[in-house]
Amino acid sequence: MFQAEPLDFTDKPAAYAELATQARGLLHGERNLIANAANFAALLYHALPMVNWAGFYFFDGDELVVGPFQGQTACVRIALGRGVCGTAAQTRQIQVVEDVNAFAGHIACDAASQSEIVVPLVRADGSLLGVWDVDSPHVNRFDDADRAGMEQLCAVFMDAVEAAGVAA
């Protein structure tokens, strides 16, 4: 069985490229959305330095509902437009928040979280699958290289979703 290991992120683009290769291999050939989401969250949580939460919220047609994740227990439902996740879902723009305490409406699930990145997940047909959310206990943990890397990783995840042709 593949074992997720912490990666050396001294060279972030190289580390994210390696992680994307690992993610592609991990999801390859599996069609089940929950299985792929769970393994994706576990892989990234263990590989990424300085993170305390990594996981999915899926759109149920009305609001976001927590999906597979690693970290402390999380709030279950988030309305579109609320918090960092709801903002990413509503605007379909990646959100990189340097300091969550300065983000109006931030939803504190784990008090340790200080910065956050949330990537909207949109299917090829334009419908919203949900969001991918990673929190850090350090302020300003996520820079442009993390933004690019997370987008790359989420593209790998969405490729698996599209290949499976499943709906959330």
Pick the binder of ligand SME from 16, 53, 132, 157 (CB under 6 A).
53
Applying CB under 6 A, among 133, 141, 142, 161 the residue interacting with ligand SME is 133
- Find out whether 137 and 122 touch, Cβ atoms under 8 Å: no
State the Cα–Cα distance between residues 93 and 33, nearest whole angstrom: 23
Instruction: Select from 113, 114, 115, 136 the one that contacts ligand SME (CB under 6 A).
Output: 113
Contacts of ligand SME in 60-99 (CB under 6 A): 74-75, 78, 83-86
Q: Which residues pair with 97 in a beta bridge?
A: 116
Report which of 86, 82, 83, 97 is spatially closest to residue 130, judged by C-alpha positions.
86
Closest residue to ligand SME using C-beta atoms: 83
Beta carbon of residue 125, minimum distance to ligand SME (angstroms, whole number): 25
Q: Whose Cβ is closer to ligand SME: residue 22's or residue 95's?
A: 95
Q: How would you label 60-86 residue by residue, b for 16+ Cβ within 10 Å and e otherwise?
A: eeebbebbbbbbeebeeebebebbbbb
- Contacts with ligand SME by CB under 6 A lie at 53, 74-75, 78, 83-86, 106-107, 109, 113, 116, 133, 135
